[in-house]
């Protein structure tokens, strides 16, 4: 094993809170109640740059500042460019809005049949069930409503959303998001998942959450039981940097997978955080060690005040090119751009096809060598499928 990928290297411990009773430390409610939410609280613990001070003062009108003690410990306080720090400590760049930036960069407001539901794709919906998170990512695509710093006044209404999903039998997949759905109480989650499970046309449920990364203490045995009871549930977590792969995250992922929840990861390509192959390779390797399958790598949305965090999409293409074929196929996420204005996720791939002629596909492999695959449409490929064959045997 490469030394950087060894489990022994993974961060852990109570750090600045070393004197605290570990019972409190491991209690997710203690972590939430003791979040760092004010400039003064940050400055008691570290020296901020002027750039960060300006960012923190602005945060209350844009997207609240909140960092769990657990995640704060992962910051290298001596390093002004620490990749963890860049994700959660505001900077003055948030006050600067460039002309291409938007409050609703992926056009969710235009595909919102009822409050809290985004129905963009034919067979699945996004269901926003809360506007709160355990900590706030400074590049949040939903900063217009998340944390309510902009007075959007989003009041998640389970019943309207549930009603919409019940009425639309074309929906087979519901993706719970927000805000962070795992911030809901066990009782509310149990109710919501239970109601969703009763809907006959739903085939499975997905949860998008960064709680395992910000607040792994929330993944309790009781939560595991609730998820197990209402499956099949898939989860997308959001890890951006290998340093976020701690023992605590690994244990949280283990509990989730043992509760029958397969986990994917969605990363956002961020300037100075993970926009290089070495960092990304280390991240995806660690994810596989935690049984987490890299799912998407997102180009950062054009959210207002994010220019300082957005990486060049060509870097993303280069990273994928440097991974594909060079390492485990399971570890390679799909790089996507969520089209500005509402076109949905568009896959962005390095080009392997050199030419398609009437006779052949001419392509390059991962090391740049050229290969040809002849085209020869066979009769079998044209034969229509019997639709019965496509139904699951238990249907
Ligand atoms: C991302 C997204 C989904 C899920 O897309 P998948 O490609 O199926 O993961 C669904 N609805 C909306 C509005 C989304 O943004």
Question: Distance, CA 126 to ligand 1 centroid (Å)?
Answer: 7
What is the count of structural domains for the chain? Answer: 3
Residues 6 or more apart in contact with residue 270 via CB below 8 angstroms: 83, 86, 87, 139, 240, 300, 309, 310, 311
Q: Are residues 12 and 139 in the same domain?
A: no
Q: Is the pLDDT of residue 213 over 90?
A: yes
Q: Are residues 318 and 293 in the same domain?
A: yes
Q: Tell me, what's the pLDDT at 37?
A: 97
Q: Are residues 204 and 227 in the same domain?
A: yes
112 touches ligand 1 (CB under 6 Å): no
Has residue 341 been placed in a domain? yes
Q: Which residue has the higher pLDDT, 381 or 48?
A: 48
Q: Are residues 312 and 199 in the same domain?
A: yes
Q: Are residues 289 and 159 in the same domain?
A: yes
Confidence of residue 222 (pLDDT cuts 50, 70, 90): very high
Confidence of residue 220 (pLDDT cuts 50, 70, 90): very high
Q: Which residue has the higher pLDDT, 74 or 7?
A: 74
Structure tokens at 394: 């238990």
pLDDT digits (tens, 9 = 90+) for 317-355: 999 999 999 999 999 999 999 999 999 999 999 999 999
Q: Which of 64, 92, 120 is the last residue of a domain?
A: 92
Q: Which of 107, 118, 119, 124 to mutate to test the pocket of ligand 1 (most atoms within 8 A of CB)?
A: 124
Q: Tell me, what's the pLDDT at 2?
A: 44
DSSP letter for 47, please: P
Q: Tell me, what's the pLDDT at 346?
A: 98
Residue nearest to atom 3 of ligand 1 (CA): 126
| Domain span including residue 54 | 3-92
Q: Which of 146, 14, 140 lies closest to 69 in space, CA to CA?
A: 14
Q: Are residues 127 and 248 in the same domain?
A: yes
pLDDT digits (tens, 9 = 90+) for 137-168: 999 999 999 998 888 888 888 999 999 999 99
CA 315 to the chain's CA centroid: 19
Q: Are residues 114 and 185 in the same domain?
A: yes
* The one catalytic residue among 131, 296, 301, 321: 301
Q: pTM for the full model? A: 0.93
Catalytic-residue membership of 29: no
Q: Tell me, what's the pLDDT at 4?
A: 47
* The one catalytic residue among 82, 131, 136, 137: 137
Backbone angles phi, psi at 15, to 5 degrees: 50, -120
Has residue 102 been placed in a domain? no
Calculate mean pLDDT across residues 185-194: 98
CATH code for position 340: 3.20.20.70
Atom of ligand 1 nearest to the CA of 338: 15
Q: Are residues 164 and 264 in the same domain?
A: yes
Q: Tell me, what's the pLDDT at 8?
A: 46
What is the percent of the chain with per-residue pLDDT over 70, rounded to a whole number? 95
* Mean pLDDT computed over every residue of the chain: 94
Q: Are residues 81 and 34 in the same domain?
A: yes
* The one catalytic residue among 60, 77, 124, 364: 124
Has residue 97 been placed in a domain? no
Structure tokens at 117: 């539901």
Do 241 and 279 touch, CB atoms closer than 8 A? yes
Q: Is the pLDDT of residue 394 over 90?
A: no
Half-sphere exposure of 112 (CA within 13 A, CB side): 12
Q: Is the pLDDT of residue 395 over 80?
A: no
Catalytic-residue membership of 253: no
Has residue 212 been placed in a domain? yes
Q: Are residues 166 and 292 in the same domain?
A: yes
Has residue 169 been placed in a domain? yes
Q: Are residues 14 and 123 in the same domain?
A: no
Calculate mean pLDDT across residues 234-258: 97
Q: Which of 317, 332, 347 is the last residue of a domain?
A: 347
Has residue 217 been placed in a domain? yes
Has residue 256 been placed in a domain? yes
Q: Tell me, what's the pLDDT at 324?
A: 98
DSSP letter for 208, please: E
Confidence of residue 356 (pLDDT cuts 50, 70, 90): very high
Q: Tell me, what's the pLDDT at 42?
A: 97
Q: Are residues 224 and 328 in the same domain?
A: yes
Confidence of residue 367 (pLDDT cuts 50, 70, 90): very high
Q: Beta partners for 233?
A: 205
Has residue 337 been placed in a domain? yes
């Amino acid at each position: 094993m490469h030394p950087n990928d060894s489990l022994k290297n993974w961060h852990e411990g109570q750090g600045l809170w070393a004197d605290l009773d570990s019972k409190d430390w491991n209690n997710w409610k203690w972590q939430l109640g003791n979040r760092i939410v004010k400039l003064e609280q940050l400055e008691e613990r570290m020296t901020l740059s002027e750039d960060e001070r300006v960012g923190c003062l602005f945060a209350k009108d844009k997207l609240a500042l909140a960092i769990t003690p657990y995640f704060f410990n992962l910051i290298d306080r001596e390093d002004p460019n620490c990749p963890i720090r860049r994700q959660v400590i505001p900077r003055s760049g948030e006050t600067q809005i460039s002309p291409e930036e938007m409050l609703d960069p992926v056009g969710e407001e235009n595909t919102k049949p009822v409050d809290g539901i985004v129905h963009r794709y034919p067979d699945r919906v996004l269901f926003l069930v809360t506007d709160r998170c355990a900590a706030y990512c400074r590049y949040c695509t939903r900063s217009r409503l998340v944390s309510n710093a902009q007075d959007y006044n989003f009041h998640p209404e389970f019943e309207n959303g549930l009603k919409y999903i019940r009425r639309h039998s074309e929906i087979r997949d519901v993706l719970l998001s927000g805000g962070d759905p795992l911030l809901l109480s066990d009782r509310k989650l149990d109710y919501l998942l239970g109601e969703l499970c009763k809907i006959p046309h739903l085939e499975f449920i997905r949860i998008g959450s960064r709680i395992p990364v910000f607040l792994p203490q929330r993944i309790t045995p009781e939560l595991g039981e609730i998820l197990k009871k209402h499956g099949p549930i898939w989860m997308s977590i959001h890890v951006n940097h290998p340093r976020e792969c701690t023992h605590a995250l690994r244990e949280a992922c283990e509990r989730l997978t043992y509760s029958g929840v397969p986990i994917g990861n969605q990363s956002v390509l961020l300037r100075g955080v993970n926009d290089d192959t070495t960092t990304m390779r280390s991240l995806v390797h660690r994810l596989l060690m935690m049984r987490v399958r890299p799912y998407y790598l997102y180009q950062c949305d054009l959210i207002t005040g994010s220019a300082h965090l957005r990486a060049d999409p060509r870097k993303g293409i280069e990273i994928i090119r440097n991974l594909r074929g060079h390492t485990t196929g399971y570890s390679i996420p799909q790089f996507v751009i969520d089209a500005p204005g509402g076109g949905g996720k568009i896959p962005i791939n390095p080009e392997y096809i050199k030419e398609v002629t009437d006779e052949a596909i001419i392509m390059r492999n991962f090391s740049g060598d050229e290969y040809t695959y002849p085209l020869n449409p066979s009769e079998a490929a044209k034969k229509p499928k019997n639709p019965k064959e496509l139904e699951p045997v238990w249907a």
